[in-house]
Amino acid sequence: MAELAQMFDDRKKWFQIYTQPHAEKKLNRKLEALGFTSYLPLRRLTRQWSDRVKVVEEPAFKSYLFAKLLPEEMRLAERLSEFSFFVSYDGGDNGHGKVFPNITDQDIEQIEAVLQAFPEALMYEDRRLKKGAQVVIREGSLKGYRGALLADATDNKVALALQGLSQSLVITVPVELLDQELQAQP
């Protein structure tokens, strides 16, 4: 019986889901109620109102969450009212139609680690992050993670690329904890 469960688990794949506006938490709860593995990365922010200060949690990636599903379970997720679509790319001439990003358990673990160490990290699309040196964090809980140093050197902002997602988490790291990654020369 354990072998059968492991076989199904091996076939499960992480999918990036685009939700209806402001429906990330509700969709996450519904997916979990159906017994699916889902992950909604949350940022912890301090909000100031005129009469109080409160710590709130909001999605790190607006309108996105992740679910680990079997291909046949995708149809159940699509039927939920908060669901919009599975993030995919055009397969072009390869004859495969849609191509889904290859999201690994390590990608999910990296998101969790970054948000735990930097709860106010911001999300940016990778296409905005083409400039800047490639860096590796040399110390601390994120030791070994690679990213791109953004143009704003005064704030030491680093974008940690999330493989296959076309997105990055932006954090502020003291410059003394960064080493520039040397690029291989052709």
153, 173, 154, 171: which is closest to 162 by C-alpha?
171
126, 143, 129, 131: which is closest to 177 by C-alpha?
143
pLDDT(184) > 50: no
Measured between alpha carbons, how far is 5 from 101 in angstroms, rounded to an integer?
24
Give the list of residues 6+ apart from residue 103 with CB closer than 8 angstroms, or none: 13, 14, 15, 16, 66, 163, 164, 165
Q: What is the pLDDT of residues 87-131, one digit of tens each?
A: 887 655 545 567 888 889 999 998 898 888 888 776 655 443 345
User: Which pLDDT belongs to residue 66?
Assistant: 95
CB distance 71 to 142 below 8 Å: no
Q: What is the pLDDT of residues 155-168, one digit of tens each?
A: 556 666 665 566 77
Q: What is the pLDDT of residues 166-176, one digit of tens each?
A: 677 777 776 65
Q: What is the pLDDT of residues 6-52, one digit of tens each?
A: 555 678 999 999 999 999 999 999 999 999 999 999 988 888 888 88
Looking at every residue in the chain, the average pLDDT score rounds to 77
pLDDT(147) > 90: no
pLDDT(154) > 60: no
**Overall size of the chain counted in residues:** 186
Q: Is the pTM of this model over 0.85?
A: no
